[in-house]
Amino acid sequence: MLRIRTTPIALALAALACGGAAMAQVNVQVQGAWARATVQGQMASGAFMTLKADKPGRLVSVASPVAGVAEVHEMKMDGGVMKMAALPNGLELPAGKAVELKPGGYHVMLLDLKLPLQKDTTIPLTLYFQDAKGVKSEQQIKVPVTMVAPKAADAHQHQH
């Protein structure tokens, strides 16, 4: 299990930027993260993971230096047609409940790729969260690039 928290220094700087106001820390566990490898010329891919927040909140946005655009998306069937769209308000994270981002459902869409995502490499991804009180935080993770979802045991070994 990967548990990433914002650093005390980052929280202190953010508090100073907000006029010294105290900030609560959003704690979200990230498990089994992976991104789908691409072929030369492919300009988009997806990243997947399971998120579990200790308090109610949202995954409001994502970013990665390997993509010109990174968005939180949902893929769903609508009248027999598969549709995919960005979630303008982010993805709800109920307290204590695992939310799975997977192919065919919620996922991170990486668009306008700046380079091919090569199997057996990792890419940086920043997840931006907001808790129920509007407090924002971010988590930076390294995501392994594979062709298919790694087994749970393998996913823990590849995360940093």
Residue 77 pLDDT = 87
Q: Which residue, 143, 141, 145, is CA-closest to 117?
A: 145
Domain span at residue 89 reads 2-158
Number of domains in the chain: 1
- CATH number of the domain encompassing residue 116: 2.60.40.1890
Residues 32/9, Cβ–Cβ less than 8 Å: no
Alpha-carbon torsion 108, 112, 113, 114, what sign? negative
Residue 150 pLDDT = 79
Mean pLDDT by 10 residues, the chain (160 residues): 42 41 68 96 97 96 98 92 93 97 96 96 97 93 93 47
Q: Rounded CA gap, 56 and 3, in Å?
A: 17
Residue 25 pLDDT = 56
- DSSP 8-state assignment for residue 95: B
pTM above 0.95, yes or no: no
